[in-house]
Amino acid sequence: MSASEEIIVCHLGRVPYERAWALQEAVQERLIAAKRAEPPETVPHVLLLLEHPPVYTLGKSGDAENLLATDETLDALNAEFHRIGRGGDVTFHGPGQLVGYPLFDLDHFFTDLGRYLRTLEEVIIHTCTEYGVTGTRVDGRTGVWVGPDERGLERKICAMGVRCSRWVTMHGFALNVTTNLDYFDHIVPCGIDDRGVTSLAKESDASVTVDDVRGAVADHAADLFDADITELSGEEAWAFLRDFADAGTALNVQP
């Protein structure tokens, strides 16, 4: 891999799920078009870091029965539900959870989805360490876990599910920071019914916020993918994305 790879990290704040999904598709299409051009264009990779309003999502191979909430319950929770194209089963996104959508052309890193997922896990494990939390892996179960320890069995702190087209990724990870874990009572998280979920705030003795954690995630992503990063926030980030993906009008990509 060339040391000249660049990742633009876009800190977007709170974004409705459907808008973020459309934005991912637009950026992914732009990256695919760049690599198919003659000659290929040199464009940066993109990492979207954001939060969502309450939403449950079900992966393409997931079991709808793992969503335990009825339509009435979803209305009471003011939560949405979407079937989506990533791998994995049902999960929850909401305030207090840092969601990361890496839109990377793996032809410039490594064309190995297993290695890509392990590298994303390592980004989160390193981030957890900064807050005194030991993140681990569980054989056969994607994501990052805490335990087993004196507090109990393994519990998931970060869920992951990805999709790849022509080696350009989308979807990504969801790290519980200060998430209200009661939302997970309405699903069988990731289809796993014998383990629970947790958050950095619950496991750490340190005070922690999503704003704190997103900088650490960006830094560890740069290190583990051996790339230079440029961080953009707010309107500056949205302006870059509108220009990069030519998506301002079509997707109503506004802050």
Can you give the pLDDT at residue 167?
Answer: 98
Q: What is the pLDDT of residue 191?
A: 57
**Span 212-231, pLDDT tens digits:** 999 999 999 999 999 999 99
Describe the chain by its helix, strand, coil percentages, rounded to 5. Answer: 35, 30, 35
Q: What is the pLDDT of residues 166-222, one digit of tens each?
A: 999 999 999 999 999 999 999 886 555 567 899 999 999 888 999 999 999 999 999
Question: Quick one: DSSP state of residue 165?
Answer: E
Contact 170, 155 (CB under 8 A): no
Query: What mean pLDDT value characterizes the chain?
Result: 90
| Residues near 201 by beta carbon (within 8 Å), at least 6 away in sequence | 96, 177, 178, 208
Average pLDDT over residues 152-160: 93
Confidence check: pLDDT of 2 > 70 = no
Single pTM value for the model = 0.92
Which residue spans within 87-166 are E strands per DSSP? 90-93, 97-103, 135-138, 141-146, 155-165
Which span out of 2-11, 75-84, 102-111, 239-248 was modeled with the highest average pLDDT? 102-111
Average pLDDT over residues 44-73: 91
Pick from 4-8, 169-173, 251-255: least confident: 251-255
Residue 250 has pLDDT above 50, yes or no: no
Residue 191 CB neighbours (<10 A) = 18
DSSP conformational letter for 41: P
Cα–Cα distance, 150 to 54 (Å, whole number):
31
Catalytic (active site) residue 190: yes
- Return d(Cα 92, Cα 35) in angstroms, integer: 33
| pLDDT value of residue 189 | 65
Q: Which of 10, 128, 158, 190 is catalytic?
A: 190
